[in-house]
Amino acid sequence: MNIDLKFIENAFPQILAYLPVTLELVAVSMVIALVFGILFAYANFKKIRVISPLIRVYMSLIRGTPVILQLYVIYNITPYILAGILKKAGSTFNIYDLNPIYYAFLALSLMATVSVAEAVRAGLSGVDKGQMEAGLSVGMTELQTLLGVVFPQAFTTALPVLGNVLIDLIKSTSLAFVMTVVEITASAKILGGNSLRYFEGYLCVFLIYVVVIK
């Protein structure tokens, strides 16, 4: 197999130009996942009636299905549902004009939320129950104790796992091309298709991911 080094030289900066899109997907999805993951973790930790079983069902569905299938379902079904809601509400907004990156945010954050929730729940389980009692005994409210005492300790335990979640999320952004989101993988596919140099294009993507993850 002959590797076209000239193609790599020309294609690499073009592919690298889409790295901000990949990083945006990671940043937004991770923030959303952290917010909902913490809420889900606390609900499961406290075993809140009705809410906790629903969260476990959701987590089982996400863990039991391929990520690419989740992306396809969200990209094809969500606009249809939203269009029906907007129509009933009398809105003239065309949901199909919405940038597909928003669907990618939704799909990737739904996936990452499960892992974040499990990591934080494990961290909460590792915190001695006496910490909460100690906080309450000195006049702190439950919320103050959670934010100032319990969660900092839980996050210290969960941090290595959350790092792995972030790495998995970075790699999962490569699937956003199925939603027509042009990030580094999609740009490599487009460039490779134009010149039938897929290997060289994906080699550029490989190098970028290695550098970003390291």
pLDDT in tens, the chain (214 residues): 678 888 888 999 999 999 999 999 999 999 999 999 999 998 988 888 889 999 999 999 999 998 889 898 898 888 888 888 888 888 888 888 889 999 999 999 999 999 999 999 888 888 877 777 777 777 777 778 887 888 888 888 888 999 999 999 999 999 998 888 999 999 999 998 888 888 999 999 999 999 998 7
CA 188 to chain centre: 22
**Are 175 and 144 spatial neighbours (Cβ–Cβ below 8 Å)?**
no
Q: What is the pTM of this model?
A: 0.88
